[in-house]
Structure 1
Amino acid sequence: MSAVAAAPPVIKVAALCGSLRKASYNHGLLRAAMEISKSINGLEIEYVDISPLPFLNTDLEVNGTYPPAVEAFRKKILAADSILFASPEYNYSVTGPLKNAIDWASRPPNVWDAKAAAIVSTGGSFGGGRSQYHLRQIGVYLNLHFINKPEFFLNAFQPPAKFDSDGNLIDEQAKEKLKEILLSLHAFTVVLQGKRE
């Protein structure tokens, strides 16, 4: 009688994009990641829209509750096992909308706490890399645990074309690297959850 291999645990990933533009290349990275995840056993990615969030203002916190859009966002982050950030680089750092979302979810109780995370980015020559390093610094305070390897920085403008006119990723080599990120995030999340148990 042959032993049946146990199915890998299902890891639920919340995917956030720092750009609000629907055809942004960073948004395209997340769409590609969601498509790739269908070929990875035990990985589910849900895109979480940060555009409805108001600017953080603690006056909006009433008796320990938050505005409905914030409450819904925080519940999605809390329910996720890990986080996938697509972080464009604005002025050498993370975007305002992404920082706003991070700050809302860090309000008590901090729903980022102890989760695994990964970052992908695309842009000019450095591919958004400076934003990634700032996001890692923010993650220290939030107690987010980022995978270290592999890293994903994609120069969107160096030939051949990496994206089509709708912002969809068409570069096969980049898709392979994106899959490596997802596999690493899945494995690291399983390890973290095992340690907690």
Structure 2
Amino acid sequence: MEAAAVAATKPLIKVVAICGSVREGSYNRGLIRCAIEISKSSMSGVEIENVDISKLPLLNTDLEGKGTFPPVVEAFRQKIREADSILFASPEYNYSVSAPLKNALDWASRPPNVWADKAAAIISASGGSGGSRSQYHLRQIGVFLDLHFINKPEFFLNAFQPPAKFDENNNLIDAQTKENLKKVLLSLQAFTLRLQGR
């Protein structure tokens, strides 16, 4: 069987991509755009949907009814519920994850926890260490949420170190970084299928 035919038989996995920055010009948002492009142009069996978390209200259990959530929260939870795996693009704020991302994590963890038993990967574009501290903190949070993160490859991008990694529209342009991002997606795909026994 030809390689193209083999690739076409791969089961489809649905990946929800979440950017921890709500800023339109975020480099992490640029990473997600590139991941979506890679999944469409040079991978098979992976469908990535960018899910916006900017409209989620601050977590307040007073907003919950008996087993119900505000419509915007319920819509977000449903996206997570339907996903096979999660791709987090996590900037680093004060050695940790961003407030919008933590808020999204908390809303989707309200009973029933819709993160449970899903595969996940983290990518980061930041200064300094490229977001490594935020990633390690997110992994700690993931223990309680019962998320299963891939361990390798890790992806930390110092967005400000030359040569330029992004263009004037914050789109990823560095070829090696794109290749590193593709390796993360391939690892997430393989791990998701293994976790699901497919």
TM-score of the alignment, normalized to the shorter chain, above 0.5 = yes
Q: Aligning the two structures, in what range does the TM-score lie when normalised by the shorter sequence?
A: over 0.9
What is the alpha-carbon distance in structure 1 between the residues aligned to residue 169 and residue 28 of structure 2?
A: 12
Match of 2:106 in 1: 103
The residue aligned with 1:22 is 24
TM-score (structure 2 length as normaliser): 0.95
User: How far apart are 1:137 and its partner, in Å?
Assistant: 0.2
Residue from 55, 61, 76 that aligns with 2:79: 76
* Matched ranges for 1:47-66 at <5 A: 47-66=50-69
Q: What is the distance in 2 between the residues matched to 1:23 and 1:173?
A: 22
User: Over residues 99-118 of structure 1, what are the superposed CA-to-partner deviations in whole Å (9 max), with x where a residue is unaligned?
Assistant: 00000000000000000000
Aligned to 1:128: 131
Equivalenced residues, count? 194
Kindly state the Cα deviation for residue 60 of structure 1 after the two structures are TM-superposed.
0.2
Tell me how far 1:63 sits from its aligned partner.
1.4
- Percent identity between the two aligned chains: 72
* 2:20 aligned partner, one-letter code: G
- 1:16-55 residue CA offsets vs partner (Å, 9 max, x unmatched): 0000011100100000000001121100000000001000
Q: What's the counterpart of residue 159 of structure 2?
A: 156
Q: Which residue of 2 aligns with 1:31?
A: 33
Give the counterpart letter for 1:31 in structure 2.
R
Task: Determine if the alignment matches structure 1 residue 86 to structure 2 residue 107.
Answer: no
Q: Offset of 1:68 from its aligned partner?
A: 0.4
CA-CA distance at 1:125 after TM superposition: 1.6
Q: Match of 2:34, as an amino acid?
A: A
Once residues 36 and 132 of structure 2 are traced to their aligned partners in structure 1, the CA distance between those partners, rounded to angstroms, is 22
TM-score when normalising by structure 1: 0.96
Aligned counterpart for 1:146 among listed residues 122, 143, 149:
149
Letter in 2 for 1:42: G
State the AA in 2 paired with 1:145.
H
How far, CA to CA, are the matches of 1:18 and 1:125 in structure 2?
18
How far apart in 1 are the matches of 2:141 and 2:66? 27
Q: Secondary structure at the match of 1:168?
A: coil
Deviation larger for 163-172 or 134-143: 163-172
Q: Do structure 1's residue 7 and structure 2's residue 9 form an aligned pair?
A: yes
